[in-house]
Structure 1
Amino acid sequence: MSLLQPEASIWYVICWVVVGIRFMGKRIRLGSWRFLQIDDFLVIPAMMTLTILMAILHIIIHTNSNLIPPGMDVSTLTPDEVAERVYGSKLTIVVEQMQILTIWLLKACLLIMYSRMTDLLSLHRVVKGVAIYAGVAFVMMEILWFGVWCRPFAQYWAVPTNSTQCSAMVNHLITNAVLNISSDIMILLIPIPLVFKVKIPVKSKAVLGCIFFIGAFTIFAAARNKYESFTHPFSSNWTIWYLREAFTAMLCANLPLARPVMQRVFGLGDWTHRDTTTRTGSVFGNTSRYGSSLFHRRSNRDSRLPISKPMPIIPRPVSDEYLNQCISPLEIRYDTEIRIDSPASTFSYDKASMLELAKSDDQPKYPDPLDAKSLGPSTPTSEQVITVCYAERNRDTRIM
């Protein structure tokens, strides 16, 4: 394998393209680079550690280490060969740390994104639990690596070593496999309940399915590179699986946030928008864009009843990126219909508030129906009917 090898080079270029699309999408969504979030800033060091990992793996496959085959006489090694093995062993330490940092930085990016998505959901506790587990796993693995498995630490590059734990690193590889794969599975399972609840087009579901497939392949690559390390320790097959795990993890962490650009290029719908047609229809009835069909006149009998309060709209939890789209204000319109039946059969229609009608000095004066002097024998009693219509106008506002 080399930096120019087709597979490694293609993976590396794709990762940079996806990261660039992620930042372009964030710029489109948030409107300014100043609003970038913590997970956005963690992607940059993750790409740097991935670059270092790829570069050093290119050197390691051509360099020997202190992992000496059984039966080999170490005393036959020349000083140059010993120096080469010391150098290769030090590079192996760097590779292992770059791999760990890359994977755990990307785990942090995904968990921060999930934390925003589930901020008001009960699933938020699950995200916190997985984040604590991943953080404790990282700290414990590093403590075991630097202070327990190989003592003194310089034995990691000694030729020969005083323990196989300093050359083959069996205990570390087992610990890494258990903690890494278990946390990956937890992170992959977190968004599944959200996907089942949301109603999105089939095309968008297919895109999400591809992202889940990449996440599953990341777990497979993590298991495969440990398998190669245990079964073929003197081969370099494990190196390409280290890269495949890191590359696919990078794609899995960045593709969900590349949605704004992919929407514009491929015409995809909103992946996180829930279909609220049924809900809004059951609450407000069949409405047009401006909800004009909601407003029906009440009868004279109903007009004497107190006006009921509108049903509150409880926002559903969504991501910060989605909330930035909901900038249209909620408009409330109150219509008051006045109908006056008088002896002259006149009809008046106006729009005014009840308070204005009560205080207006321009209202016509009606005779008191109990005043016999003011009523003739054939003069009908004047009737004032006030019909109040409540209207809620929801223009370009999404129900969250």
Structure 2
Amino acid sequence: MAAQETTTFDNTFARDLATESWALYGVGAFIFVLRIYTKLRYSGIRNIDADDIVAIIALGLYTGLIVCMNVIASGGGSNLYEPGADADFTPEDIKERIFGSKIVVVSEQCMLCTIYSLKACVLLFYRRLTKGLTKQKMVKYVAIAVAIGWVCTEIAFFTACRPFYGYWAVPPPNPQCTTLEHYAIVQACFNIPTDLAMLSISIPLVYRLQVPMKQKLLVGALFSMGIFVVVAALLTKIYNLSDVYSTSYMLWYIREASVATYVANLPAIWPLVRHVFPCLRSVSSIKYSGQVKYGDVYGGHSGMMRGTGKQKTGNATVIDAMELDEQALTRYNRGDNGSDKGQDLGVLVHTTVEVTKEREQV
């Protein structure tokens, strides 16, 4: 991570960072607004889901990251500089760098928590998408891995520099207080594998889509955008670790966080996109052959298993449809919202189950 050889950031770098960061942020904020609009229009404020709430938190953290990066770039630098460059620092230079270093600590937390809150947002969406499918177990396992990754990365951050105030000391007590090289390695070891694990959930679902190839490619592009997050994360670490004193890490932090924001929010505006472009409404279903819990499909009070008192599983054909409820949408558009206003029109699960029930021997 980064500073220039001079005592302050180059004005050109600060200007370029501001232009790129606010442009990328504008796109991310716009997609987020569309997400919330879609939810309120088709489901109502009473049906805000957990992933929507997490998305709001992620946007706040993402905003904090962009602000911090611009404050650092437009200020007097931080305690990240080439060894020996502090020989000519004035007391005012040191004061500015101490302040900048404290902002760096905040920016690192904003970056880490932005990425992991967006992972949580996507996993909560996948949980709804796979409801009733045995594939949901994979979502739970990945969620546990993500939680462990976040905790371990936080531990790495808070233990990489001792004493902790070394993060803003000028000069720093040791290189890890300024380059965060070891922390960056730990972050990559948990961040990238969990991104790949999340892709392993979405890609099989898209593969089972039973629609024309053109439409499958469209939905596949929507759900496979996590690949770009992986690429951005890899490039961030490559540029970071190849030169730990380079300012380029700041640009790559912004790019990685921006791409992750797009990927986490775009699937949630699918109902709105299909409403605006009717040609997309024929994208119908995902056929999944596997096992499904009866309780998940029919509800906890279903009479399907009456008399047994046991939860069983059996072979099932599950049609997991990402489609608008056209009747509910029609009623919405003509003002007759009724109870359908509360439906989540983003992801509807239609399930067909073939049940073979063994008679109990008397």
| Alignment partners' CA distance in 1, 2:62 and 2:101 | 19
In the alignment, which residue of structure 2 is the partner of 1:7? Answer: 20
- Deviation of residue 270 (structure 1)? 5.5
CA 314–174 in structure 1, closer or farther in 2 if over 3 Å, else same? closer
Deviations 1:109-134 (A, max 9, x none): 11011111222222111111100000
CA 6–66 in structure 1, closer or farther in 2 if over 3 Å, else same? closer
Runs (5+) with no aligned partner, structure 1:
277-312, 328-397
1:111-150 map, 5 Å: 111-146=123-158, 148-150=159-161
1:326-341 map, 5 Å: none
1:378-397 map, 5 Å: none
- Pick 1 or 2: higher relative contact order, CA cutoff 8 A, min separation 6: 2
Q: TM-score, length-normalised on structure 1?
A: 0.66
Normalized per residue, which structure has more helix?
Answer: 2
Residue 38 of structure 2 is aligned with which of 15, 25, 32? 25
Q: Does residue 116 of structure 2 align to residue 104 of structure 1? A: yes
In the alignment, which residue of structure 2 is the partner of 1:64? Answer: 77
Q: Does residue 90 of structure 2 align to residue 78 of structure 1? A: yes
In the alignment, which residue of structure 1 is the partner of 2:225? Answer: 214
In the alignment, which residue of structure 2 is the partner of 1:41? Answer: 53
Contact in 2 for aligned 1:200/1:275 (Cα 8 Å): no
Deviates more, 1:85-94 or 1:199-208: 199-208
Residue 174 of structure 1 is aligned with which of 156, 160, 185? 185
RMSD: 2.8
Contact in 1 for aligned 2:68/2:103 (Cα 8 Å): yes
Paired residue secondary structure (1:316):
strand
Contact in 2 for aligned 1:150/1:156 (Cα 8 Å): yes
In the alignment, which residue of structure 2 is the partner of 1:16? Answer: 29
Contact in 2 for aligned 1:3/1:9 (Cα 8 Å): no
In the alignment, which residue of structure 2 is the partner of 1:355? Answer: none
- Residue identity opposite 1:24 in structure 2: Y
CA 186–160 in structure 1, closer or farther in 2 if over 3 Å, else same? same
In the alignment, which residue of structure 2 is the partner of 1:316? Answer: 318
In the alignment, which residue of structure 2 is the partner of 1:204? Answer: 215
Deviations 1:314-373 (A, max 9, x none): 673647x8697798xxxxxxxxxxxxxxxxxxxxxxxxxxxxxxxxxxxxxxxxxxxxxx
Contact in 2 for aligned 1:99/1:246 (Cα 8 Å): yes
Paired residue secondary structure (2:122):
helix
Q: Does residue 170 of structure 2 align to residue 159 of structure 1? A: yes
- Residue identity opposite 2:25 in structure 1: Y
In the alignment, which residue of structure 1 is the partner of 2:104? Answer: 92
- Percent identical pairs in the alignment equals 33
Contact in 1 for aligned 2:111/2:257 (Cα 8 Å): yes
Aligned residues: 291
CA 258–201 in structure 1, closer or farther in 2 if over 3 Å, else same? farther
Deviations 1:178-207 (A, max 9, x none): 111111111122111111112124443232
In the alignment, which residue of structure 2 is the partner of 1:378? Answer: none
| Alignment partners' CA distance in 2, 1:198 and 1:212 | 12
In the alignment, which residue of structure 1 is the partner of 2:240? Answer: 229
| Alignment partners' CA distance in 2, 1:252 and 1:271 | 20
| Alignment partners' CA distance in 2, 1:83 and 1:272 | 60
Contact in 1 for aligned 2:274/2:281 (Cα 8 Å): yes
Contact in 2 for aligned 1:121/1:317 (Cα 8 Å): no
Any runs of at least 4 consecutive aligned residues in structure 1 with deviations exceeding 4 A, and if so which?
A: 1-6, 321-327
- Deviation of residue 208 (structure 1)? 2.4
Contact in 1 for aligned 2:51/2:120 (Cα 8 Å): yes
Paired residue secondary structure (1:234):
coil
- Deviation of residue 4 (structure 1)? 8.5
| Alignment partners' CA distance in 2, 1:209 and 1:69 | 45
- Residue identity opposite 1:19 in structure 2: F
In the alignment, which residue of structure 1 is the partner of 2:312? Answer: none
Q: TM-score, length-normalised on structure 2?
A: 0.73
In the alignment, which residue of structure 1 is the partner of 2:342? Answer: none
In the alignment, which residue of structure 2 is the partner of 1:247? Answer: 258
- Deviation of residue 77 (structure 1)? 2.0
Contact in 2 for aligned 1:42/1:109 (Cα 8 Å): yes
| Alignment partners' CA distance in 2, 1:177 and 1:322 | 36
